[in-house]
Each structure stands twice: as structure tokens, then as C-alpha cells.
A = this chain, B = another copy of it.
């Protein structure tokens, strides 16, 4: 949904308010200039707002038709005068642009109320300003907060809590006894609170360990499509506030994900892993169970974290891509690395006049 457009001065004021003063922008050009939407620099029209965050795109900015461009002071000073467009100068242009986009394209409000085709369990408490879609299920004694939205066919289990302003997209599933804080977004096909994977061996067979814990999720958490977060075995699986998870992620039972950590798509996290705050986990990384990752770590894509990481830093580990024929040779040599190392030792020993080992 688009608004009818907002002037740059209205946008700057609204964003100062929204960020409680953290994001103050200066307009170069007419503050009355009105933008109706957003676009990339290259394709923006005079009614669009665009942004320049990466100096690589400076020439795109120079030639852009955008009505206004958000950028840093440094970039603004580097740009030649733009006769037909304004500049919005701010310390964090990407964040300012994101907030401006939210203001220009507010999420369409869902109609408050419970669709006649929804199924509501006994004792469920649904705020009158909340919206429950067709075919959605709200379990017994569940709680749905003010302004929360449960999409068509979504499922909120018994005794679970969906707090104010949170949203389950169509066919998202939250099972029993789970709690989501305020302003969370759960995308379609995500499953929160399925049983953790716990079995005890007995004579070659596997005895199921009942999974008695919950999933407890903080505020402002986003959970991608088809991501799964299992309930704890005895304690809870915990996702702190501000965490953003992409699609197709698996979080095992009793994991902890610290505040404001972002996890890219297809990551798997085994049970009881403890991921710190403000981490960035690359796509398709795999994190073993029962380990700890320090706050502020960056994990590369497709990297296996096989042990605890105590020191913040950037860690990576994946095999480099090569032409298939070269890879076949390299892979064969990887299998012989021990032999290569031995031969180097022997050469060194021979050079020193040692007897060969």
C-alpha cells in the first residue's frame, strides 16, 4: 500500500520521532519536495526516494532521476549539484531510507475481528483490535494481543501467547505453550514449538524423550518462511528480542539466540547451542550442539561451527569452488595431506642431514 506521498520535511520529522532523536537528517534542496515511493538509483523517477550507501554507486547517484537521494554528508559533498533533485543528508542513510519506506508504504491494516471461518478454543482471549483470518486456529486459553494479526489458516496453539502487534502470516504454525513478544513477524510455513529431536537408545531402538519445554521469543523478532524452532526438552528454547531469522532455518531444542543476532537462510543450529548477541550467521552455516558462540561473532556462509567460539571475530570455513576437474584433483590431494606433510618433513630432515624418519 502506498500513501499519497510525503514531503521530505514531514519524513525527517517523523523519523526523528520514530527514532527518538537518533536519526536527524538535513535536507539540501526543497524540504517541501514530495515523494510517493522508493526505487533504486538507476530506475528512480522524480517522485521516488532513492539511497546511496555504497560509494561504488556514486555515478548512479549523479545521473539518477530520483526526486531525493538519502546519503551521508561525505557522499553529498562529493556529488555535483543536482539541479532537479534534493538530497537528504544523514549519518545512517540505509536506516533512514528503511524508515522512510515504512512511512511511505505502511502495512495495510487488517480488519479487526475474528473471521467466521476461524476456530477459537475455549478460554482463548483475543483482543478486540486483533485480526484472526479465515481457517485460522486459536487454541484453548491462547492469548492474542492488541493489533495482532493471525493470517488465514495460521495456527496458534493452546496456551500460547501472540503479543501486541505481532503477526502470523498465512499457514504459519505456533504450537502449544509458546510465547511471542510484541511486534514479531512469523512468515508462512514457519513452525514454532515442534518437538525437539530427543531419543534415548535401548537395544538398537530409540525411545522418545517427551519434549516438555516451550519456545519463548522476545519482541521485534522476525522468523522467515518455513523456518522451524523446536521446543525445549526440559527448559525452554529462547530467542531474544530483535533477532531476525531468514527462511528455512532450523533451531534445535534448548537453543539460545541472543538479542539482535541475524541469521541468514538455510542455517541449521543443533540442540542446546548458545549463540551470543549481535552475531551475524551466514547462509547455510551449521552450528553444532552444546556449544557457545560469543557476542558479536560473524560466521561465514556454509561454515560449520564445530566448537565454541570465545572471541568475537569473523570466522569462515568452506571448500572453495573450482572447475570440476581441478576440484577432483584437489579433493584427492586433501585426502593425502598427511602424506604430503610427512614428505615435507622428510625433505627438511634430509636438508638438515638427518636420517630419514
Contact = CB atoms under 8 A, between A and B. Distances in A.
A19 to B, nearest CB: 7
Contact of A324 (B19, B155, B202, B300): B300
A55 interface: no
B286 A301 contact: yes
Given A226-B189, A268-B248, A335 B326 contact: yes
A80 interface: no
Nearest to A313: B323
A101 B210 contact: yes
Interface stretch (A57-65, A124-132, A302-310): A302-310
A191 B187 contact: yes
A75 interface: no
Nearest to A252: B265
Given A137-B170, A246-B197, A315 B304 contact: no
A347 B40 CA distance: 55
A3 interface: no
Contacts of A268: 248, 265-266, 283-284
Interface in A284-303: 284, 286, 288, 298-303
Given A320-B334, A327-B317, A153 B175 contact: no
Interface stretch (A24-32, A141-149, A227-235): A227-235
27 contacts: A22-B203, A94-B201, A97-B209, A98-B200, A98-B207, A135-B137, A137-B152, A187-B194, A191-B226, A194-B247, A195-B222, A246-B250, A248-B248, A248-B268, A265-B268, A270-B301, A284-B284, A300-B327, A301-B304, A315-B324, A316-B322, A316-B323, A316-B324, A329-B337, A333-B340, A334-B334, A347-B347
A23 interface: yes
Interface in A314-352: 314-338, 340-341, 343-344, 347-348, 350-351
A182 to B, nearest CB: 14
Contacts of A262: 199, 206
A341 to B, nearest CB: 6
Interface of A: 19, 22-23, 37-40, 43, 92, 94-95, 97-99, 101-102, 105, 107, 117, 119, 134-135, 137, 152-153, 155, 157, 169-171, 173, 175, 185, 187-189, 191, 194-195, 197-210, 212, 220, 222, 224-226, 228, 230, 234-235, 242, 244, 246-248, 250, 252, 260, 262, 264-266, 268, 270, 278, 283-284, 286, 288, 298-306, 313-338, 340-341, 343-344, 347-348, 350-351
Contacts of A194: 169, 187-189, 224-225, 247
Given A119-B134, A137-B135, A170-B137, A330 B335 contact: yes
